[in-house]
Structure 1
Amino acid sequence: MLGRSTPVRGPSALRRTATRTTAVAVGTAVAAVMGCVAGPAAHAAPVPAARTLHWAPCGAPDEPGAECATLDVPVDWSDPEGPTLGLAVARRKATGPGARVGSMVFGPGGPGDSGVERVVGGISRFSPEVRRRFDIVSFDPRGVGASSPVNCSAELLARRPSADLASQTDFDATLAYNKRLRADCRARTGPVFDHLDSGQTVQDLDALRAALGETRLTFHGSSYGTLLGAQYAETYPHRVRAMVLESVMDHSVTRTRDLLRSQAVAAQDSFDEFTKWCADDSACALHGRDVHAVWQGLLGRAERGELDNPDRPGTALSPADLVNRIAFKKFYDVKYAELATAIAGMEASSPLPASPTSAMPLPPATPVFCADWHLPVRDYPEYASLVRTMNSAAPDLPHLLPVHMTAACLGMPTANPQHRLTAHGAPPVLVSNALHDPATGYPWAVSVARQLGRSGVLLTYEGQGHGSVTSGPCMENAVNGYLTDLTVPARGTRCPVSRA
């Protein structure tokens, strides 16, 4: 008997507030996908007449000014007159109404990030000029947040096997577990389960454009949101006004090994940037020491179950959590000093008695990832070879999240597999990336810009971090001019590291 149901990402108080303030009730259809079955024709479905958004104030009193609404969209865009789901939407109006250009839709990352939370909680990621000229609008993609989140058995989720497979028996057990979990989530979440890939979300995005009254879309996608933006430009090139793709996913990487290697290389590059900073800056808590050796010592303790968890003293920190939560996330915002201090503190902590560690929790929208990425692995020997490839490319960062995602997607069907972009007829699309991005390596941005052909304009930030459009005046001015006045930066524009 399976345990009680729990959303993989349950609605927070903020989401409940947003849902209560909408004028159109969220449909009863639920969302999750571990294997969408809609064919490519579903992604090219015509958009029905524009739906109406009824806005109402939402959010916490200390963050006033946000408005929320619900957009009803088809569960399956190949059946536009069929059952619907409620897409949670939020906006903040332009701060300079007389200078307003229109609405700009932000495509959240993840997969699993809430665009509603991003808007309701503040939009500081955008420059003052962009906030002055545009209504900033975002949404919770289907299967996320208040847009019919994934719903699965809590007990079954807690029994997820470790991604550290050691035999064909482990491999087969993971396949069997994934099949059970998919069946459970599908039964609990209903028809939307089969229709949550980014191809379906492209149609949601176009319906939102129409509901906002925009003839052409102004869009800013970040990280996983760049996959949505790129596929929108491919599907509706003549409906794009301006599009920024920031920290870019390359959905043309078809081989599992190539995807894992490229992500490992990007992550290791960011770790190496951290060690260079530590060697050069006396503010580093590990300055003057061999950072690689200190880190490898912590990894060894974590592998033996002896490393004290700084957030839960007395419990062992898993090596996967050490790598992904303690280190990797600090590279996103270039929080080198925080990471060095954390490493020094853990090194000084007393070893725990060896004890087992739990499997690392996966992102809430892992099913969406599985529906967008076809990552076949034949058997355990191939899986072990893939892990060796990652560990060779990132010797300081084993257990990276992509290998966990690969294990979670074993045996899952894919509705929206990888392919090269063909966005013929699209206007200039600004492709922005840092040279040292830990999650979406710079070569991906180069590749996507090339796939876009004459439409692709690469803007390079010569620094570090995941996200760079406001990293100094050079980047900010280039993006501002493009979004507001459609002034395209010169091809090959590179912006120096911001020291602010």
Structure 2
Amino acid sequence: MPLPGRSALRRVAARGTALAVGAAMAGLTGLAAAPTAGASPSAFAGTLRWAPCDEPEEPGAECAALSVPVDWARPSGPRFDLAVARRQAADPGARIGSMVFGPGGPGDSGVDRVVDQIGRFSPEVRRRFDIVSFDPRGVGRSSPVTCSPEVLAERPSPELRSQADFDATVAYNKRLRADCRARTGPVFDHLDTAQTVQDLDALRAALGERKLTFHGSSYGTLLGAQYAETFPRRVRAMVLESVMDHSVPTARDFLRSGAATAQDSFREFVKWCGGTARCALHGRDVRAVWQSLLARAERGELENPAKPGTALSASDLVNTIAFRKFYRVDHTGLATAIAGLDASRPLPASRPSTAPLAPVAAVFCSDWRLPVRDHREYASLVATMNKAAPDLPHLLTLQMTASCLGAPTANPQHRLDARGAPPILLSNALHDPATGYPWAVSVARQLGRSGVLLTYEGGGHGSVTRGPCMENAVDSYLTGLKVPPRGTRCPAVPS
């Protein structure tokens, strides 16, 4: 039967999921058992019964629900439905098979990607493959994480100024975790990527594919890499775009690397503005203007352009005004936004509030062990971040770390071991604001002979369709298994 459309999703959101910040990450999860060694997901997977999706303005997409176990360590136990969508190959005579897309976030909907954003994939891939994706467990239509809006709104500020603030955050995280677990149901304790790997293999089997063709983006690269590690001989082809490095061992390493890559994108913006006449800040000291906005936001004097009369917090200035623009290398838009804020009339000083974070990021806390002992260590981590990113305080990575304080981690960081996997193509921009280029280099090294890194010499988050050089290399790999020469680099294209 067709899956719920947007109207139904809005009703779900009204019950308390309320995804507040598009890429925001928060929430906590309990400990999930690892899938049984040697278990075959195909033996426990349901079947796919395709029907037109409930999206009349975008005809052509089909939807289905795949029944999978809540806990792959108990494959005969309770089950839930994984929401799946596909668009069939545009040229049936040239069809190779199905390509599964692993969405990012965590929290992005793969179903929405297939239904509404099929242009995300190249014409050649759409011609040769059925494009298939899904809402990962805990997301969208797949038993979504649901939390009380009132509890979410009570989230303490991540600016922890004392041990008392630190203790209060740990206590709040525990209360939020209990609330979300009670409202979400048993899947809440089994949201980690190791469980989703088993879902992905069950989907492969349900699609009738002997081997998996996969394209993972951002957080979806963690899913792809761990699938290749778990089932190396079931991979036909795999593209990992904007690569996450799940071997980063400590909270300090994670926060330092995230801050450095965000600051790199800010430097690229400043450089562009200095050399481009159409920049709304051309000829001005961009950093000085930006720092003055940060100071106004800290004092509660900067008006939120989306909510006139209310103050914009420094965190939202950094993460929603600037960071989002870096994803698409929208330097023109960012300069215009900064110029507009700079020209705005100051508000009377007030205490700005930061938007609550999205509960679906319970996945993140189950995949990343980022322990912090006490406030003294937390303050040291903040200082490390501010040194690496002096222009971008309050980054979401710090908020994620604060939100995971006290949480158990089912699938902690480790180095990849995907021996036996075929060549895997990694694609990364040199100036990616969220998954820095050093992460892609690290993962390619961990994959050894299987890892081939394709470098896009520009910026932005996502790179496989950034110009003909990138698109042709990825298409040739996916369709004909032709791997580009090691060290291949593609020039940046105007954004």
| Residues 1:401 and 2:396 are matched in the alignment | yes
Relative to the length of structure 2, the TM-score reads 0.94
Q: How far apart are 1:362 and its partner, in Å?
A: 1.5
Work out whether residues 51 and 210 of structure 1, in 8 Å CA contact, stay in contact via their aligned partners in 2: no
Q: 1:324 aligns with which of 315, 319, 323?
A: 319
Query: Paired residue for 2:229?
Result: 234
Query: Paired residue for 1:460?
Result: 455
Query: Paired residue for 1:282?
Result: 277
Query: Paired residue for 2:161?
Result: 166
Q: Where do 1:276-315 residues align within 5 Å? A: 276-315=271-310
Structure-1 separation of matches of 2:490 and 2:366: 36
| Residues 1:99 and 2:81 are matched in the alignment | no
Task: Say if 1:78 and 1:117 are closer, same or farther in 2 by CA, change over 3 A.
Answer: same
Query: Paired residue for 2:330?
Result: 335
The one-letter code matched in structure 2 to 1:395 is P
SS across alignment from 1:365: helix
How far does the alpha carbon of each residue in 1:462-489 deviate from its partner, in whole angstroms, 9 at most, with x for none?
0000000001111000000000000000
Q: How far apart are 1:360 and its partner, in Å?
A: 3.1
The one-letter code matched in structure 2 to 1:127 is S
Work out whether residues 51 and 63 of structure 2, in 8 Å CA contact, stay in contact via their aligned partners in 1: yes
Query: Paired residue for 1:13?
Result: 7
Structure-2 separation of matches of 1:199 and 1:41: 8
Q: How far apart are 1:47 and its partner, in Å?
A: 1.5
| Residues 1:47 and 2:35 are matched in the alignment | no
Q: 1:130 aligns with which of 125, 130, 133?
A: 125
Structure-1 separation of matches of 2:403 and 2:109: 22
Structure-2 separation of matches of 1:422 and 1:498: 35
Structure-2 separation of matches of 1:274 and 1:398: 17
Q: How far apart are 1:43 and its partner, in Å?
A: 7.0
SS across alignment from 1:359: coil
What is the aligned-residue identity percentage? 74
Task: Say if 1:17 and 1:494 are closer, same or farther in 2 by CA, change over 3 A.
Answer: farther
Stretch deviating more after TM superposition (364-373 or 239-248): 364-373
Structure-1 separation of matches of 2:450 and 2:81: 33
Relative to the length of structure 1, the TM-score reads 0.93
Structure-2 separation of matches of 1:153 and 1:438: 31
SS across alignment from 1:377: coil
Task: Say if 1:75 and 1:43 are closer, same or farther in 2 by CA, change over 3 A.
Answer: farther
| Residues 1:218 and 2:201 are matched in the alignment | no
Q: How far apart are 1:325 and its partner, in Å?
A: 0.1
How far does the alpha carbon of each residue in 1:76-129 deviate from its partner, in whole angstroms, 9 at most, with x for none?
001111110000000011111111110000000000000011111031111100
Q: CA RMSD in A?
A: 1.7
SS across alignment from 1:145: coil
Structure-1 separation of matches of 2:131 and 2:38: 27
Task: Say if 1:161 and 1:11 are closer, same or farther in 2 by CA, change over 3 A.
Answer: farther
Q: Where do 1:32-181 residues align within 5 Å? A: 34-42=28-36, 45-49=39-43, 50-181=45-176
Q: How far apart are 1:184 and its partner, in Å?
A: 1.4
The one-letter code matched in structure 2 to 1:234 is E
Task: Say if 1:239 and 1:14 are closer, same or farther in 2 by CA, change over 3 A.
Answer: farther
Structure-1 separation of matches of 2:310 and 2:37: 47
Query: Paired residue for 1:7?
Result: none
Structure-2 separation of matches of 1:44 and 1:141: 22
Unaligned residue ranges in structure 2 (runs of 5+) = 13-25
| Residues 1:246 and 2:250 are matched in the alignment | no
Structure-2 separation of matches of 1:78 and 1:185: 22
Stretch deviating more after TM superposition (340-349 or 122-131): 122-131
SS across alignment from 1:448: helix
Task: Say if 1:39 and 1:413 are closer, same or farther in 2 by CA, change over 3 A.
Answer: same
Stretch deviating more after TM superposition (49-58 or 177-186): 49-58
Work out whether residues 16 and 146 of structure 1, in 8 Å CA contact, stay in contact via their aligned partners in 2: no
Task: Say if 1:284 and 1:474 are closer, same or farther in 2 by CA, change over 3 A.
Answer: same
Work out whether residues 34 and 195 of structure 2, in 8 Å CA contact, stay in contact via their aligned partners in 1: no
How far does the alpha carbon of each residue in 1:354-387 deviate from its partner, in whole angstroms, 9 at most, with x for none?
0111133213322100000000000000000001
Structure-1 separation of matches of 2:66 and 2:229: 23
Q: How far apart are 1:17 and its partner, in Å?
A: 11
SS across alignment from 1:298: helix
SS across alignment from 1:385: helix
